Amino acid sequence: MSKIKKMLFWELEDFQKFIKEVDLPLYKLIFMTLYYMGLRRGELLAIKWDDVDLSNKTITINKTFSTKTNTITTPKTKNSYRTITMPDILVKEIAAWKTRIEAFVGYSPNGYVFGNDRPVAPETLRRKFHEYIKQANMKQRSDNQIPVIRIHDLRHPYVKPTTKKFNYKRTLGIYSSKVLFL
pLDDT band at 10 (very low <50, low <70, confident <90, very high): confident
Tell me the pLDDT of the chain averaged across its residues: 84
Residue 181 pLDDT: 34
- pLDDT tens digit string along 20-70? 999 999 999 999 999 999 899 999 999 999 999 999 999 999 999 998 899
Amino acid, single-letter form, for residue 121: A
Count of CA atoms in the C-beta half-sphere (13 A) of 12: 14
pTM for the full model?
0.82
> Virtual CA dihedral for 70, 73, 76, 78, nearest 10 degrees?
170
What structural domains does the chain harbor?
19-176 (1.10.443.10)
Q: What would the mean pLDDT of 143-158 be, rounded to a whole number?
A: 83
- Can you give the pLDDT at residue 177? 35
Give pLDDT tens digits for 58-85. 999 999 999 889 999 998 788 889 999 9
Judged against a pLDDT cut of 90, whether residue 172 lies above it is answered with: no
